[in-house]
Amino acid sequence: MANEVRVRFAPSPTGPFHIGGARSALFNWLFARKMGGKMILRIEDTDLERSSRESEENIKAALKWLGMNWDEGIDVGGENGPYRQTERLEIYKKYTEKLLAEGKAYYCYCTDEELEAERQALVAEGKMPRYMGKCRHLTPEQVEQYKAEGRKPTVRFKVPADKQILVRDMVRGDVVFDSNGIGDFVIVKSDGIPTYNYAVVIDDALMHITHVIRAEEHLSNTPRQCLIYDALGFEKPTFGHISLILGKDHTKMSKRHGATSVDQYRQLGYLPEAIDNFLALLGWAPNSEQEIFSMDELVKEFSMDHVAKNPAVFDIDKLNWINQHYMRKLSRDEFYEAAKPHMVKKGFITGEEFGDKLEWLKDVVATAQQHVSYAAQVPDDVAMYFTDNFDFENDDAKNVLLEETVPQVIRLLFDKLPKLEVLDGPSVKATFKAIQKETKLGGKNVFMPIRVALTGNQHGPELAEMVPLLGLARTVSRIKNSLDKVGVQLY
């Protein structure tokens, strides 16, 4: 289709898939879906040392987990493949030969030491360090000499002088660069592998990419890429450089700020719909105050016009709030499934439970649903159901059990609980009420000793929720143990 929007996500598979990469992927995906266009997934693996198939798999898995499919690219194929850069070397070579033949590029034999010496000399003169074009005009004899020395050349692009380079950017507007600030740059390394700035242009052009949406850090690369588009006679796409992601302290997001990879969030039990929702708001703002968006709603609402120039701040509290929203909406079974791996990891369950035990576990886990932010928090939240031997949180808690009214309260409790027909929230509540009435004690004097005796803590979930889940036998034995520990006699 002639005017079809075609965007691409082009990650370098060089490590954990960063949350910023996922945000770039999402903006591309939303834009493609919104415009009825195509999303292409290309793997930029020209950094042979750092690229790995493992990282590539990880990226694909993360995109799938986040619900972003692609129409063309790695795995799914398409007319414009291959979609892995190391499988496209012949293609780049053809264009390099063309540029060399047209005098738009040249072989450079400078060694790293020579380049470094040039750099230092420029810095010493107070000039901007860049390649000054030493190998632009080598004589055939010099070339022979270098070859005889065994030097392996790179290919450099001949940057035209005195050119204003205009980058049309959907986010930043028109940005102009001066070609005199750019030295002749390497497009093919001495091992024959193209550099990012070179391969990306050929690929984007041949894959008919209409909009290049990517991180702001690539804005400074864009004038170099524009020069290559022009040199090869390719039409330039529209660019959209989305802002950096900063930590809450407004410095560049890094490991210091907590988890930075998609996988870390997945492992902590964040939900993909929450991550998508959160990432969409990192730089894009809807028309309204609405903050919770499903993927379908995002597709409908998303627009590059509402993508901000200024940096986006990664606010973990907001992510937690959004995730909590989605966690609360899970069914009892879904919530249990989300919590399960974390419960297994903590050693509270084997994950093989069935029947009554499984139903009990689901009930226990469900007590955490309304207040945890992400699934990895569940085990700590329900830990007391799995630990009958606990310590008192502090002396204050212990002292609660030493109040003189405690034996009377507990005696009544032990008398009444076994007589209940069903042990559930309402019957437990009614029991507490009855004890209050008989003892004429305030609520706190009834609840607090029971709570401390049951858990060792002065805070925690509702007793009416806890007692039925613990059951009669465990309730009684826990309370007895606690009283024994502080030396309180019941009878």
Counting residues that bind ligand GLU (by CB under 6 A) gives: 7
Binding mask 181-220 for ligand GLU (x = CB under 6 A): -------------------x-------------x---x--
Q: Nearest CA to 217 among 23, 6, 58, 45?
A: 23
Question: Cβ(461)–Cβ(450) under 8 Å?
Answer: no
Closer Cβ to ligand GLU, 50 or 256, answer by number: 50
Using CA atoms, how far apart are residues 479 and 417, in angstroms rounded to an integer?
13
Closest contact distance (angstroms) between CB of 164 and ligand GLU is 22
Which of 6, 7, 11, 30 binds ligand GLU (CB under 6 A)? It is 11
Closest contact distance (angstroms) between CB of 19 and ligand GLU is 13
Site for ligand GLU in 46-105 (CB under 6 A): none
Question: Cβ(243)–Cβ(311) under 8 Å?
Answer: yes
Q: Does 44 bind ligand GLU (CB under 6 A)?
A: yes
From 255, 419, 437, 440, the catalytic residue: 255
Closer Cβ to ligand GLU, 203 or 276, answer by number: 203
Whats the size of the chain, residue-wise?
491
440 a catalytic residue? no
Q: Copy the structure tokens of residue 478.
A: 């826990």
Q: Does 12 bind ligand GLU (CB under 6 A)?
A: yes
Closer Cβ to ligand GLU, 208 or 218, answer by number: 218
Using CA atoms, how far apart are residues 436 and 443, in angstroms rounded to an integer?
7
Of 7-15, 103-111, 120-128, 406-414, the segment contacting ligand GLU by CB under 6 A is 7-15
Closest contact distance (angstroms) between CB of 223 and ligand GLU is 14
Strands 173-178 and 164-169, how do they pair? antiparallel
CA distances (Å), 427 to each of 129, 418, 447, in order?
A: 80, 11, 15
Closest contact distance (angstroms) between CB of 46 and ligand GLU is 9
Q: Does 226 bind ligand GLU (CB under 6 A)?
A: no
CA distances (Å), 132 to each of 109, 226, 306, in order?
A: 13, 20, 41
The type of residue at 368 is A
Q: Copy the structure tokens of residue 60.
A: 């694909």
Using CA atoms, how far apart are residues 466 and 452, in angstroms rounded to an integer?
12
Q: Catalogue the active-site residues.
A: 255
The residue ranges that bind ligand GLU (CB under 6 A) are: 10-12, 44, 200, 214, 218
